[in-house]
Amino acid sequence: MKHFVRRSLIAGAAGLALLAAGLPAAHAQSAGKVLLRISTPAVPDDWHAKMWTVFKESLDKSAPGEFDVQINLNATLFKQGTEPAAMARGNLELSSISAFDIAKLVPEFSVFTAGYIIRDPAHQQKVFNGPIGEELFKSVVEKMEVRPLSTIYLGTRQVNLREARNVRTPADLKGVKLRMPGSKEWLFLGEALGATPTPLAFGEVYLGLKTGTIDGQDNPLPTVRAAKFYEVTKQLVLTNHLVDGIFIAVSNKAWNAMTPAQRTKVTAAANAAAQYNNENRIKEEAQIVDFFKKEGLQVTNPDLDAFRKAVQATYQNSEYAKVWPKGLVDRINNTR
């Protein structure tokens, strides 16, 4: 009995030492709180990094003392792309996952990696907060062991050209060497836009535009400004060809361990974080257009219907569309 008491005292002292060291699991368990570790590759100044602070503050307000929310930015806890597997194993509670991440295990979700599927941020929210999102998210829960809670707007990709030209339809981009990320999915999108897709590392894009190795590139407008591509280009064509998004997701293990009241509070916190990100990112994008105009760039609007019809037709006749449920694209298009 004495030995047992002694061992218990030693274990207790070790537990206190772990608490003092700040080890997350020991801290959460001993304090009786629900541990919510968050991993994201986002940098501190980005809206989808700041939104996690909104998430934490929302939970602190609605459920004081119930949750231990630990935010890890800059991919310091898990590398980008490894978060879904970590959540499925139960090594991570929360993260933001992309449509590309999801499509690896839920092939029908690849529809959201195609051009002109989502029209704008408002359409994005209606699709994922409605019956379509509910149906597809069920597959995510079953196949990935994670549960999407809210949809985050990441930005809308536009075409940025070295020399100005009249661009109304995809035919007007014929012969344009358009830099795209190097994967086959991205290169297919560049081809569907009517251009000649040219893979090039992001770090080489500025020089490529300056020297004429490429004729243009595509990115959300905040990236165009941050990378100073406006210094070596003359035109922005607001093609709106890919409305990009990610999803705040929680591991099934963490979700199942919560009470119904806790789940409601976590979902509300995720929605508050999404709203914060979405409102600020949309506001920033609107202001950036004026910035580019002041820098001397031509900002033009093509025939979006012509682009949308041509790009969607290209996808519908491709291998990608074979895994999309019948009628899904029409249902997305008809969501208003």
SS3 sequence of the chain = CHHHHHHHHHHHHHHHHHHHHCCHHHHHHHHCCEEEEEECCCCCCCHHHHHHHHHHHHHHHHCCCCEEEEEECCCCCCCCCCHHHHHHHCCCCEEEEEHHHHHCCCHHHHHHHCCCCCCCHHHHHHHHCCHHHHHHHHHHHHHHCEEEEEEEEEEEEEEEECCCCCCCCHHHHCCCEEEECCCHHHHHHHHHCCCEEEECCHHHHHHHHHHCCCCEEEEEHHHHHHCCHHHCCCEEEEEEEEEEEEEEEEEHHHHHHCCHHHHHHHHHHHHHHHHHHHHHHHHHHHHHHHHHHHCCCEEECCCHHHHHHHHHHHHHCCCHHHHCCCCHHHHHHCCC
pTM of the model: 0.79
The pLDDT of residue 41 is: 86
Read off the pLDDT of each residue in 69-73 and give the average, rounded to a whole number.
97
Read off the pLDDT of each residue in 173-182 and give the average, rounded to a whole number.
94
pLDDT in tens, 122-166: 999 999 999 999 999 999 999 999 999 999 999 999 999 999 999
Question: pLDDT tier at 39 (50, 70, 90 boundaries)?
Answer: very high
- The more confident residue out of 24 and 127 is 127
Is the pLDDT confidence value at 266 over 80?
yes
Is the pLDDT confidence value at 27 over 80?
no
Read off the pLDDT of each residue in 75-102 and give the average, rounded to a whole number.
93
Residue 169: phi and psi, rounded to 5, are -135, 170
Question: pLDDT tier at 329 (50, 70, 90 boundaries)?
Answer: very high
Mean residue pLDDT of the chain comes to 90
Distance CA 133, CA 39 (A): 24
